[in-house]
Amino acid sequence: MSTGESTGGSTDAGPSGTPDTSGIPAAPAGAGAGRPRAAVVAALMLTMALAALEGTIVATAVPQVVGDLGGFSVFSWLFSGYLLAVTVSLPVYGKLSDTFGRKPVLLFGTALFLAGSLLCSVAWNMAALIAFRIVQGLGGGALQGTVQTLAADLYPLKDRPKIQARMSTVWATSAVGGPALGGLLAAYAHWRWIFLINLPVGALALWLIHRHLHEPARDRAAATPRGRIDWPGALAVFACGGVLLFAVVQGGVAWPWLSAPSLALLAASAVLAVLVVRIERRAEEPVLPGWVWRRRTIAAVNLAMAALGVVMVAPMVFVPTYAQSVLGLDPISAGFVMSGMTLSWPVTAALSQHVYRRIGFRNSAAVGIALAAAVLFSFTLLPYPARPWQPALIMLLLGAALGLFQLPLIVGVQSTVGWSERGTTTASVLFCRQVGQSLGAAALGAVANLTIASRLADAPVPGLPTRLDDVSGALDRPDLVPPAAAEQLRGAVATAVDHIFFGASAAAVAALLVLLLIAPRRFPVLPEQRED
């Protein structure tokens, strides 16, 4: 094999000791006898664009939304509610796509997402808008997982980087163009159009999927019989994930971490986790099957992707604040600092096939995450104050490293399972990344708050804010505080971001150790997936 991967072995065996190959279609969905139709690929890209745009396009319209509907104290749930719904629904949709096929799940998820978008556009207050965003998120979970699974179904291993690179380009374009589009719609039309614009895009995607995506009939002799849907397990996963992520999102914000609400929610999530394990062990077709964690390859990729979720918090959440508060850039210029990562990521993702075909999936990902760890740590070595090109260069290099890390893992782990397990496997990988991002945001946010609070408490400078809640206001209007106090605030934020990047580099090292110590050196690629 040109990838240097093995085609079997006990390192990634199914329940019977061999990788599952049941239910593998004889030809890619929608492909006929040749390549996948351009209409199917276009439908997948449009569907992925719906999920990719939802956060960036909404963020720039928040001031107009709050001005119209009120609810400033809870507007963050426009994002947290969506994230919760996507995260907890991913495993459920993954299992459903393995049971009933990708097409019905994708059609349902897209329709639900569009229904949520329409409801958001007619929301009458902030509570209704948050509820409808959760409906959107329940559809978004189907979009993210099923599109990634279909990408593996459509393309053979040697061509899979092409479709994955296109998907990465969708995310990069959305990251750059989403804020501008959201700002234009909010300024020159109405904030409700940021949701209505989803309808024609989604309708076109639905039509293309319905018309052109044809999944071949599964081999009834080889296919795994359909068992009963594990609704108790699905509800338990929803409840456990929802309570845990709610505790993480609200902890340190709505109440202190060691307060009664935080401790009660964390205890409840632990109890629900035990309940999930008990239910899934007894289920005929569990939503979260044990083999996801018993197979070394899948378990290692899940853990590594969870670490990636933590790593992503530093550039996505804290670099914009650093660029505006410490470097004094306007929001547009701050966006350019971030844009390097969104541009270099898909480029190296597309080129990663030339690396993993030579040295294998694990080694390619290990090289990428090792470079990412070094790049993240280099941020802590920047002078104060840094010049804008310096963090921009770091973001460019970070995107290049992460593109080399993520894509080989996704392509590799999808190639170790058959059709009937691919949806569950892909969903577990995305689920772990989402959970890692949520937990990382809470942990690194706590580090930032502690750093800033410590720097302000020890500073012998008058005029500093006495509460963390007042820091953002002082940074937005530095002319309202004494110059020495403003400079002290900028220094405190710079130190906090340094600590954040140090923590992110530690998460990258943890991902590297997982790959080296847990992942097999050669991924057990199935024979029908290999490249001869």
pTM of the model: 0.81
**25-68: per-residue pLDDT in tens?**
434 444 433 445 788 888 888 888 888 887 677 776 777 787 78
Q: Report the pLDDT value the prediction gives residue 10, as an integer from 0 to 100.
A: 39
Q: Report the pLDDT value the prediction gives residue 374, as an integer from 0 to 100.
A: 96
CA-based torsion, 293, 294, 298, 299: positive or negative: positive
Residue 438: pLDDT over 70: yes
Q: Report the pLDDT value the prediction gives residue 487, as an integer from 0 to 100.
A: 77
From residue 142, give the alpha-carbon distance in Å to each of 99, 113, 139, 146, 209. Answer: 14, 9, 5, 6, 14
Q: Which of 123-127, 177-181, 362-366, 435-439 has the lowest mean pLDDT?
A: 177-181
- The fraction of the chain above a pLDDT of 90, given in percent, is 24
- Return the structure tokens found at 311: 């790593």
Mean pLDDT of the chain: 80
Residues with Cβ within 8 Å of 90's Cβ and at least 6 positions away in sequence, in order, are: 141, 144, 145, 427, 430, 431, 434
Q: How far apart are CA 450 and CA 24, in angstroms?
A: 52
**263-276: per-residue pLDDT in tens?**
899 899 999 989 98
- The fraction of the chain above a pLDDT of 70, given in percent, is 82
Residue 477: pLDDT over 50: yes
Q: How far apart are CA 408 and CA 492, in angstroms?
A: 38
Measure CA 397 to chain center: 20
Please, how many CA atoms are within 13 Å of residue 188, restricted to the half-sphere of its CB? 6
Q: Report the pLDDT value the prediction gives residue 481, as an integer from 0 to 100.
A: 66
- Return the structure tokens found at 406: 């993520």
**87-137: per-residue pLDDT in tens?**
888 888 888 888 888 899 999 999 999 999 999 999 988 889 989 999 999
- Return the structure tokens found at 379: 């941020």
Top-confidence residue, 478 or 193: 193
- Quote the longest CA-to-CA distance of the chain: 78
What's the Rg (C-alpha) of the chain? 23
Q: How far apart are CA 129 and CA 124, in angstroms?
A: 7
Q: How far apart are CA 342 and CA 325, in angstroms?
A: 22
Tell me if 516 sits within 8 A of 144, measured CB to CB.
Answer: no
Nearest CA among 203, 151, 141 for reference residue 44: 151
Q: What's the average model confidence in pLDDT over 494-502?
A: 91
Q: How far apart are CA 213 and CA 209, in angstroms?
A: 5
Q: How many CB atoms lie within 10 A of CB 401?
A: 26
Q: Is 377 exposed, middle or buried (0-12, 13-18, 19+ CB in 10 A)?
A: middle
Residue 2: pLDDT over 50: no
Measure CA 135 to chain center: 18
Going by pLDDT thresholds of 50, 70 and 90, the confidence category of residue 461 is low
Range of 207-221, 241-255, 291-305, 427-441 with top mean pLDDT:
291-305
Going by pLDDT thresholds of 50, 70 and 90, the confidence category of residue 470 is low
Could you please report the per-residue DSSP string of 236-282?
HHHHHHHHHHHHHHHBTTTB-TTSHHHHHHHHHHHHHHHHHHHHHHH
Top-confidence residue, 78 or 359: 359
**330-351: per-residue pLDDT in tens?**
766 777 787 788 788 888 887 8
